[in-house]
Amino acid sequence: MSSETFTTAMFLIAAIISAGVLINAVFPVIYTLSGTISSSSHKVDERLSTDVKIVTTYASGGSNTARIWLKNIGAGRIADADIQKADVFLGAQGDFIRLTRATVLADGTWTYEILEDTNNNWDPGETLCIEAQTAKIPAREEIVYFQFVLPTGLSRSTTFTAGD
């Protein structure tokens, strides 16, 4: 009878030690995985809450300038730093370039202003006015291509007819 008790106690101790080893091996993996899932879900939530719509456009082949107004129609705000890192493409359809952001408008550059801005962020409902200059803007009545890409991957593009 005492040998059965001893054997049972040994199996119980071995089971407890095995469970401890298993927990020590699995817990760090679960902890790392939960951090990855949390980070990914935050990025997905950020992407889903960000949406932009091109409201209206104007381009002049004569002065090589364009103005594009975009509205933040998403639920989340877009930081000013993200707008500064955005890519802007403009020009004739099939013959456009990536413009460089600048503080003073010159050939091959773009500037922006957040209308109704109160906090240096592009909040939901606010309008972003982009002014761009490039010799790639075609002559009157020809098609102009515009694309705006945020660092998060959100992209909006349109084609429209150039004016004077």
| 44-91 tens-digit pLDDT | 666 567 899 999 999 998 999 999 999 999 999 999 999 999 999 999
If 0-12 CB within 10 Å is exposed, 13-18 middle and 19+ buried, where does residue 17 land?
Answer: exposed
Sign of CA dihedral 114, 116, 121, 124: negative
| CATH fold label, 52-161 | Immunoglobulin-like (2.60.40)
pLDDT of res. 164: 78
Cα-atom radius of gyration of the chain, to the nearest Å?
Answer: 28
Q: What is the pLDDT of residue 1?
A: 54
From the list 67, 81, 48, 101, the residue with the least C-alpha distance to 151 is 81
Residues of the chain with pLDDT under 50: none
pLDDT for the residue numbered 21: 78
Task: Give me the chain's average pLDDT, please.
Answer: 88
- Every domain of the chain and the residues it spans: 1-48, 52-161
Q: What angle do CA 38, 44, 45 make, to 5 degrees?
A: 85
Per-residue model confidence (pLDDT) at position 146: 98
